[in-house]
Structures are given as structure tokens and as C-alpha cells.
Structure 1
């Protein structure tokens, strides 16, 4: 376009730089070394991980904490395959991430090239879209369009495969691209706005339900502002436990009182009880707005006439339209009633439970609370099964992140590293169970090598407690087996990898251990031996 000749790898990194990307999360491999070389000329940081899944999780955290796109770079074959599980998690959390993967050369397609794999077909179910680069001189256009697509409509992961020979091709930049343009999304028409306004006006208890993207730090203030201006409660969902998410308190009880649900960017899936009669009262009408027609069609096929209006449109734009056009709802007290249900916690929680000489999950969470309060801007990650649910019920932060709708656990240490990479001036604190800790424990070495201080607090009950509780609940306490773990010294592992480690076996040891962990100013693991308990099931007293 300007006569400049560069390798495909250079065009790719130039595109990343133009998009404002400063950090790539990656694990190296043969086919992507030209990209590593190109970053040297563009002041682009590579955080080199110990597992490809960790690279994707770090990119997910970076995107959620900034509201921008995260970039992961994986190598071909098994490297690409190692990232697939994390890609699924990113898709379910609706986070804008671009996954770049090395690929066998196009010139050797169907020749049995080293690590040859149809990556697009393999990635397709795990991502929003998947493409394979065609020419080196298109790669700047490719990456810019991939980033735009990841952020468009329902955010999500976009995969771009990078054949080895394409990365090495030299040429002048081309405006052509293998990446498809996103479909244009309409705003609400005046007629649709009128229908929504009329439905709200005739409703006594309307409610707006939102998807995971509206749980992010960059969206929370605007959601609160819309709720206040419209006088309508707005509730966003991201927990794999749906209506049973402890962070939502007793919300399920008031959901059943609503006579109008406006679902914006929130599929009527398991997280909202599928919109079934068991969850919504029979005369509750539904208005559904989504960026994907397929989502609307799927829900319409199940719920039929209960859905009175469906519109394919951008969730973000629709919320702004409603804020600008819809009069304030007249019902007094409904927003406060919903907020009261969400914030409800049993009265007994104010008292210290008697667990003898053991640390229960409630005491564990309450002991950590002062450290969250001391750093209200901290990146705060909660990941794990039962201990994760207790902590979500008790602890919160403006910059909070959980393991998301997929229900996958294990990303917490990579999440902390990714968060710290993009918010270096704020602490990174992560809480996890011991099952979670085992997935990416080696990433402590990454954090040490990258000089990335974080504090990882492990609630160690020496078991896969979520599954252990299922066994007790469904089959009986005498039929629990095969979910045991050892009381492993994760603190020692962190210390041997160059970090700081603390073992806590009694409640009085926890505060001093946390004090030392934060003061260490290095990757720290506080390994807290706890009593495994079932996650809280929060219901208001009748």
C-alpha cells in the first residue's frame, strides 16, 4: 500500500501495535519463531508461559480487566490443541481474545507436513470464528479484522492460524483478508422502542437480565447508571451455578416475582433456569434482544408465545437506547427489593461458627476480607469449587474475576499473571481450592521470571470437594471415594520456583502469613489447611 516490503510476521506485529496491543501471552514453538523475531522491532512484550492453556487464560484476564482485547500466541499441533480447553472457557465467558497459532506451511497441505492439522475445523466449536491466513502481506489486515470481530456483538475468542510459509513471505501490505467482516447489527427501531416502552409501562415488576460481558469492571458503572435512570433492576450473570450462585444471594426468589423480563445479550440457558415455568411465573412476558439470531431462534422454539418480542441487535447499543428513550419506571421499591435479595446473607453468618481447631471456609473468607478492603482497586480472582463459592458469597471487588460460565477450574494463577501484566500498579490476589492449584502450578515460575508479584491463597481441604459433596448428596456419605488429594505443600513448590511460601494450619496464623506474603513483593502462595464444606445454598428465612 505504501511500497514497504516486510515479512508476514512483521505485518502481523505491526497490526497488533496499531491496535494498541503491548503484551502477547505465548508458549514458543517452531512455527511461530518468526513472530518472536518480529516483536523485537516493535517493543512488544511476550510473557512466555509453561502451558498453552495458561497463555489463553492470561489473555482472557487481560481482556476482562481492561475491556480491550487479549492476545495469545500458540505453536502448531499439540501446542494449539493444548489451548482448546481454555478457548472454550473464553467463549463461554464472552471475552474478546484473539488466539494466534502456528501452522504447517500452506505449500505442504495434504503432504503430511510436520504437525499438520485442520485447525479451523478443530477450533470451530470452541471459538466465535476461526480463519487460516492466506498471504503474508495480508496479515496486518487479518489481525486488525480479527480483533474487531472478537469485540463485535457478543464478544468472544477469534482464532487465526498462521502457516509457517505465510509468516515468512515478504510483500507490500494488502487490504485483502481471510477474516470475514462482522455482520452489521441494527439498533432498535422507533416501533420496537415503543413496544418496549409500552411493555415496561404496563409492568409492575420489570427486570433486565444481562450476560457475562456486563459483569466486567468496564461495564459495571454503566449498568448501575441504567438501572438507576430507568428504575428497573439490572442483573448480570456469569457464574456456572446460575441462579444458585452465592454471589446472587436470594435473587432466585425475586426473579419469580417479575412480570416482565427484558433479556439483553443473555441467552435463556441454564444460568437463568432456561426461562422455565419453575423459574418464571406463568404471566411473565419476555422481551429478548441478542446479537445472534441463532440464539433468539433457539429460545423461541422452546418458549414460544411467552416471548413477546425478539430483536437482533447490539446489547450495548440497546442499553444506551433504553437509557436515552425510556421514561423512568413508576413502581417504587422494586429495585431495592431485588438489591436486598441479592445482598442477602443469613443472619448466622455474622457470627463465627464453631469449627473447633479447624479453619472453615467462612472464617477463611472473612480473614482474607481486610486485604481486599485495603486494596479496593486490586485485581481479585476467585476460582474453584466449594471454597470458590464461599468466597464469592463473602468477598467482592470492583476488579473481580471468576472462572466463568464454563465451570472450568484451574485458570486462577494465569489469571493473576494476566491481570498484573495489564494493571501493574495494582495488587493481584487470587483465591483457589487445592484442586484448582494443581492445574497450572508451574506458572509460579513464569511469574517469578517475569517479575510479577501476586498473592495466591489456597484453601486446601485435601480433596476434590465439589465432587465429594455430590457423592454425599446424591449417593450417601458411605459412598464417597476417589476424590481424595494429599494435603500437599503448594507453598513449598512456589518457594522452590523462586517465590514466597506460607503454610497456615490455624486461624491465628492466617493474618500474619498474609502480611508476610504481601510484603514479600514476589509471587507468593499462602497454603491454608481448611475443613471442606459444601458451598452455601442461600435462601431467606420464611
Structure 2
């Protein structure tokens, strides 16, 4: 019988878990795993930078609502992965990062790429593990998968020293474990109290956050909204679980989006906050009236009560909560009564929604040169009009414009950097999206600043024949910082904000992709048509007006610790 080493146990455990892809950049410390993944059921998806590998795993985990695996080598490979893990923590993505490290026998000997990795990443993950005994590798992989998906999903770190991976295993001592958690807790007693608060409300709103998406509670959310006729908003990964085209959906809960969100949130008397985080995006809770009753439902107890007093906090899986709530509403047969009670409020929110969109119409239809960035967002939104079309947004101002514009009809079809706000996600997210949905149209829209971070992932997409279209809103600057400086200081500091023009489209062409430059608004749609028709990885480089200041830049200059005195 051939000897079995630790690296084979890793590969076997990941194969047994049904892992499809491992997003990775190779290195000597993880070669003992690579050798057993070659020609296996798992695809080794190699990137040009470890950061991109983890971002791809994050997007894969978010879209599939199950663990995704990234694997990196020791030292610099590990440190390059950290931004992706920080992003996964705040997006609730169950990413399992496997990293090699120097062997136990060479610790503190100044071996190649030696560093103490565990204390660096421990505060960033749900659990940080190191396996020192090769026979226990399957147990540690089981712990990683269980932890990533228990409670609120999130990243887990597993470190495997290279001599553990190369060690011969005594198979009699190996325990092959595979536990999957399926429990969905619900607080029945407090759920009944929600109905009492709904009865007394005149101006209620419900906000469906990322927890709705991760719990696969879209159907229950729609049923609840329709059952009582309550104005609904979505946020984070929850965008699209209720289509923006639904008559009771008023799109994103972000107040800067043209529509009814600002009025509704500021005038509500009851807020039902489901699976979300009361963050900067809600002015740390201050956008809601202090007098409004606030109900917060979350799988994580420590999230309830962040940034404001909560009148009713319920620790529950959102799907189980909504099932229970819908059942109680049916039992009490009060849906029609609540619909009638809320109708004047729905009419008020709808009027505000129409007025808000009407005020934004001039920007969406702007014909000035250089191109208004919101006109670019509108052209992209209109072109990507199929329910299953996927858009990824990256960049400061560019993500803001797209977030203010995108009509989302289905969950899991819009990805951006969310709370962590890390630029560079655009190409990795889009590549992962196309891997998952090879028959769907995938478009990334990003700023020229964010384009520079993971630019060589164009090469990854080209060499792997992944036909994504990337639109660059090129304002020749770090726009959000430039504009926020102008608002704070009266001018921007050129060193650190101005980039100048770059022919990114020509760089993509040189690597074998499709490239085109656009300078007029009427040429945007033909360029998108040509890019998709090319069947290649494509770059549409659009010259946009650098003088236009987005609401995101205004917020950056005036909120929280960024505000200048």
C-alpha cells in the first residue's frame, strides 16, 4: 500500500465536502495539497494575486450561500490574502482560507517566508485553527466547515505547516468527520409580540438585509410583505430577494438612492429590521426617528442593539422567523385590515419615490461631455435588462452611481464591496460570477482607481476564456477622495488624488481581450453590444466627468470620523 501523507488527507476531505473550486495562487508550502488535487473533481482556479483568490472565494460563497475555499502559501501569500478575509467578515461570507506555513521543525530558524500568522488573522475570522498532527487534518477541516456556516456565516482560517502536510499518516488514527448544521432557531414568543406592534403602527417599514439572502428566506419575505401591504426595502446581499419592480418594494434602503427611502426611513413609526447591520449606511441608526419602535431580528445576538435602543430584539434565523410570523398573521386573519391601515402610508412613500426619481432624471439623461457618470450607470442598467443579468460594482464614486441606479429583479445578481468598502473586488467577483453562471451575462463596472489593484486578473480571465465585460468609469482620479477633499479643504491635493488618462482598453487588447474607448454617451450602448458580441474578456473604457461629485463623496466628507472640523 502506498504511503498516505497529510496533503492527501486535505485533498480527500475537500473532495468529500463537494468543493467545486479552490481559488488559489501556488506556492511551495501548499504543493503537498496541490499534487493530490491535480486531475481530481476539484478545479484549481489559479489567480495572479492572493487577494484576488480570496475575493473570488468570497463572491462564490456569497452567491452559493455555502463555504468556499481559498488556498495560499506561507508568509507573503498569507499577508496578501488578508484584505479579502476582512471583506468576507463584513459580508458574512463563509470563506475557508487554508494557508501553508513553515514546518514545525524549522520554526524560529529563519526559514523561507517564516512568520507567526495565527495572531495576525485571529481577530478577523470566526475561528483560527492550526493542525499540528497530520492524522487530525480531516477533523480540522470539518471544524472549519461547521464553523463557517454556524450562526451568522463568516470566514474561518486553517493553517497547515508544510511538514505536517508531508508527514506520513497512520490511517488507523484518522477520524473522517462530516457534520452539517441545519438547525434554524426561532423565538415563537417574541414573534407574537411583533404582530401587536404591527397593529398599532401607521407608518411601518420592513428592511430585508443580507440575512434574508443567506437564510434563503426570499419567498417568506415576499409573502409577508404582500400579506400585510407594508412598504419594503432591501439591503446588502438582500437586494433583489424582493424584486425592485414589485409594487411594494421601494428598492434599496440607502437614503442617497433616488426614490422614497429617505422619507420612509425618516418618517417611520415602526421599523422591522431583518438580518441587517445598523451601520454607517443608516447614519449609525440616526436616520430613523428616535420615537419609532424598532424590531431587530438577527441570527447573531451581539448584533442586536448596535447603535440604537431596540424595542424588541429577536434572535432567530430570518426564514424561520418569517414562517412563524406569517403563520401567526394567518391565524389572526388581520392581513386585510393591516393593508387598509397602511395604504395611506404606502401612497405617501410611492409619491416620494416618484418625486425622487424625477429629480434624478436630469442626471440619468444628461448629454454633457465628458459623460456624466450617472448617465453611464443608467446606460449600463438599461442594457443589462434581463432578470438573470449580473452586475458587479467596484470603486468609490462608481459604486455609488451604480447603487443609485441599478434595478435588481432577482437575488444574487448584484455584488459590490459592501461594508468593508475594499476596492479591487470588481474583476475577482465578476470572474467568480461567470464561473457560477456561464450562461448569464456578467458585467463589472468600476472606477479607474480600483482598476489598478487587480488589473492582471484580466489576464486570468483571458487565459481561462471567461467572457466578462468590464466597464471603467474613467475620471482620471481617485474620485471619491478628490471630491471629499474639495468639500473639506476647498481643493484637492493632486499628489494622491489625480491619476491622468490611461488606455486600459488597449492594455486588455494586448493580452488578447476586446477593448474599446467611449467618449460620447450615445456610444455607450453600441460599445456594450460590441463587447458582449466579441465573446472575449472585454474592457469598455469610458471617459467620465471628473468634476461631478457623488452623494457618496458628500457623505464621506461629512459623516463619522472623516468629517473635517
Distance 1:216 1:183 in 2: 13
Correspondence for 1:361 among 373, 376, 379: 373
Q: Aligned residues, how many? A: 524
Deviations along 1:73-104, one digit per CA (max 9) or x if unpaired, are 11111111011111111111112211111122
Q: Is the 8 A contact 1:8 1:166 kept in 2?
A: yes
- How far apart are residue 525 of structure 1 and its match? 0.5
Correspondence for 2:296 among 284, 288, 291: 288
Paired position in structure 1 for 2:549: 534
- How far apart are residue 136 of structure 1 and its match? 2.6
Residue 384 (structure 2) pairs with residue 372 (structure 1):
yes
Distance 1:473 1:506 in 2: 28
Give the alignment of 1:333-372 within 5 angstroms: 333=343, 334=345, 337-338=348-349, 345-351=356-362, 355-372=367-384
Residue 321 (structure 2) pairs with residue 318 (structure 1):
yes
Say which is worse superposed, 414-423 or 312-321, in terms of deviation: 312-321
Correspondence for 2:311 among 304, 308, 325: 308
Distance 2:424 2:72 in 1: 19
Distance 2:369 2:201 in 1: 53
Q: Is the 8 A contact 2:255 2:261 kept in 1?
A: no
Q: Is the 8 A contact 2:184 2:320 kept in 1?
A: no
- How far apart are residue 442 of structure 1 and its match? 0.5
Q: Is the 8 A contact 1:448 1:497 kept in 2?
A: yes
Distance 1:181 1:511 in 2: 47
Change (3 A) 1:81 1:144: same
Paired position in structure 1 for 2:164: 166
Change (3 A) 1:537 1:146: closer
Q: Is the 8 A contact 2:7 2:33 kept in 1?
A: yes
- How far apart are residue 243 of structure 1 and its match? 6.2
Deviations along 1:175-219, one digit per CA (max 9) or x if unpaired, are 488x9998987420x422232222222323333334334367965
Distance 2:279 2:503 in 1: 40
Deviations along 1:154-189, one digit per CA (max 9) or x if unpaired, are 121111112212222324273488x9998987420x
Paired position in structure 1 for 2:128: 130
Distance 1:11 1:339 in 2: 58
Q: Is the 8 A contact 1:15 1:141 kept in 2?
A: no
Q: Is the 8 A contact 2:471 2:542 kept in 1?
A: yes
Q: Highest relative contact order (Cα 8 Å, sep 6+), 1 or 2?
A: 1
Distance 1:75 1:320 in 2: 44
Distance 1:219 1:187 in 2: 13
Paired position in structure 1 for 2:151: 153
Q: Is the 8 A contact 1:458 1:527 kept in 2?
A: yes
Say which is worse superposed, 228-237 or 391-400, in terms of deviation: 228-237
Say which is worse superposed, 143-152 or 352-361, in terms of deviation: 352-361
Q: Is the 8 A contact 1:489 1:527 kept in 2?
A: yes
Deviations along 1:370-410, one digit per CA (max 9) or x if unpaired, are 4301x431221111122222222222343111121111111
Q: Is the 8 A contact 1:243 1:273 kept in 2?
A: no
Q: Which runs of 5+ in 1 are unaligned?
A: none
Distance 2:259 2:132 in 1: 51
Normalising by the residue count of structure 1, what TM-score does the alignment of the two structures yield?
0.87
Distance 1:478 1:80 in 2: 35
Paired position in structure 1 for 2:527: 513
Correspondence for 1:252 among 245, 250, 262: 262
Secondary structure of the corresponding residue to residue 12 of structure 1: helix
Normalising by the residue count of structure 2, what TM-score does the alignment of the two structures yield?
0.84
Paired position in structure 2 for 1:268: 278
Correspondence for 2:405 among 387, 390, 394: 394
Secondary structure of the corresponding residue to residue 394 of structure 1: coil
Change (3 A) 1:86 1:343: farther
Say which is worse superposed, 107-116 or 96-105, in terms of deviation: 107-116
Distance 1:184 1:176 in 2: 22
Q: Is the 8 A contact 1:74 1:102 kept in 2?
A: yes
- How far apart are residue 344 of structure 1 and its match? 5.9
Secondary structure of the corresponding residue to residue 332 of structure 1: helix
Q: Is the 8 A contact 1:452 1:522 kept in 2?
A: yes
Deviations along 1:306-337, one digit per CA (max 9) or x if unpaired, are 42333333334323322333453453324565
Deviations along 1:425-484, one digit per CA (max 9) or x if unpaired, are 212211011111111111011111111111001011101111111122222247766411
Residue 48 (structure 2) pairs with residue 50 (structure 1):
yes
Change (3 A) 1:236 1:108: farther
Change (3 A) 1:400 1:220: farther
Secondary structure of the corresponding residue to residue 125 of structure 1: helix
Distance 2:505 2:369 in 1: 21
Q: Is the 8 A contact 1:456 1:526 kept in 2?
A: yes
